[in-house]
Amino acid sequence: MTPPEVVDTLADEERMIVEMVRDFAANELEGIAREIDAEKRVPLDAIEKMRELGLFGLLIPEEFGGSEVRTIVSTRVIEELSKVCAAVAITVSVHNSVGAFPILLFGSDEQKKRFLPRLASEMTGAFCLSEADAGSDAASLKLRARRDGDAWVLDGTKMWVTNATQAGIFLVFARSDPDPSAGHRGITAFLVEKDAPGLSVSKLEDKMGLRASDTAELAFESVRVSDSHRLGAEGDGFKVAMSALDNGRIGVGAQALGIARAAFDEALRYAKERQQFGQPISRFEGIRLMLAQMDTEIQTAALLVYRAAAMKDAGLPYGPQASMAKLYASEAATRVTHAAVQIHGGYGYVKEYAVERYYRDARVTEIYEGTSQMQRIVIARSLLGKQKRATA
């Protein structure tokens, strides 16, 4: 299998960061990954250690207390974590890419000074866009923000919030203009602190995979937010959300890539060990073709994910490339983990073998931060422009 080093060029100190994370994952996550999945437990101690290692400040400049690295490096960090525990990886990915990064992009100087050092060193971020009736059609969200003097009052519910129980700061998208004709221009973004009166976790989800990551529904009951906590201009919330998701999708692509690599490594090892008909199953053509296909898809996914990261690092527009990387890597991860279970036979269907967890963990990468269908729409629009809605 081609090592990632061949297709990207990291400086020595960048390579050391990736190696440090690889060691951390081997020493601190490997031994607990199966247990925290079974117990549906967020490993808060390990998360604190990652904070101490600077992994929560990966996209935050040093002047704001972060340990800013190039996106290609943060991408490799997410990939390394995902190879061992994809649930922990998504905590870090969401925090950095759609929690902290939008503040860097859209925050005022005062907001950057106020929130970024805390996000780099002491608190986790969360992103609250989806609602029960607003997923792919994010612009139809209903959580209401009503102006009241120099503050706003938020009422409504958010769903699928990653990091919901551990986050200290929530980036919340709300409808500030109730006029239906305002559409996506009626949405504004706010930074809400976890102890804001009226904010509560109303339901913790019981998920198929990523069970050691907390995903919840949040209730906002007359939550008062100062206008100084508004992120970006009034009505610009949809753009804040979409540009955050461009960045987040590179992270999801890296997560899918890491899961696929882990599943492949297990399948390759098992195929060489498992004896049937008097020989290792890796000698059978059927298994060899599966392994060849799996590795080819992983290498393709890696190229697309690293390319999207490199385009962002180069300051180029990268939204459609991030969508393509997420689309391909997530679908490849589903196929690769499916094949890894198949190669393990009955053993792949029991929790004693890690491929069972990889198979479950991979599935959501095709869904969250935009389904595969939405990624195809973003890519098609970049090629052909926006399609006019058909009239009856």
Residues near ligand COS (CB under 6 A) are 129-130, 135-136, 138-139, 160, 184-185, 238-239, 242-243, 245-246, 319, 368-370, 374, 377-378, 386
First and final CA of the chain: distance in angstroms? 53
369 catalytically annotated? yes
Smallest distance from ligand COS to CB 64, Å = 23
Residue closer to ligand COS by CB (options 120, 192) is 192
Residues 6+ apart with CB under 8 A from 39: 212
Residue closer to ligand COS by CB (options 315, 346) is 315
Instruction: Report the alpha-carbon distance of residue 278 to residue 262 in Å, rounded.
Output: 27
Smallest distance from ligand COS to CB 233, Å = 12
Instruction: Report the alpha-carbon distance of residue 134 to residue 29 in Å, rounded.
Output: 34
Expressed in percent and rounded to 5, the helix, strand and coil fractions of the chain are 60, 15, 25
Smallest distance from ligand COS to CB 381, Å = 7
Beta bridge partners of 148: 151
Backbone angles phi, psi at 153, to 5 degrees: -120, 120
One-letter amino acid identity for 207? K
Instruction: Report the alpha-carbon distance of residue 60 to residue 167 in Å, rounded.
Output: 17
Smallest distance from ligand COS to CB 249, Å = 8
Smallest distance from ligand COS to CB 223, Å = 20
Q: Where are the alpha helices (DSSP H) in the chain?
A: 12-24, 33-39, 44-52, 71-84, 86-94, 101-106, 109-121, 237-273, 285-313, 319-344, 355-363, 372-384
Residue closer to ligand COS by CB (options 87, 267) is 87
Residue closer to ligand COS by CB (options 4, 319) is 319
User: Sign of the C-alpha dihedral, residues 362, 363, 368, 373?
Assistant: positive
Residue closer to ligand COS by CB (options 252, 263) is 252
Q: Which residue has the tokens 């690092």?
A: 313
Beta bridge partners of 155: 144
The DSSP call for residue 135 is: S
Q: Is residue 224 within 8 Å of 96, Cβ to Cβ?
A: no
- Quote the tokens at residue 136: 């792919």
Q: Is residue 132 within 8 Å of 156, Cβ to Cβ?
A: no
Smallest distance from ligand COS to CB 54, Å = 26
Which of 217, 266, 297, 369 is labelled catalytic?
A: 369
Instruction: Report the alpha-carbon distance of residue 135 to residue 373 in Å, rounded.
Output: 12
- Quote the tokens at residue 277: 């008909």
Smallest distance from ligand COS to CB 272, Å = 39
Residue closer to ligand COS by CB (options 182, 219) is 182
Please list the active-site residues. Answer: 369
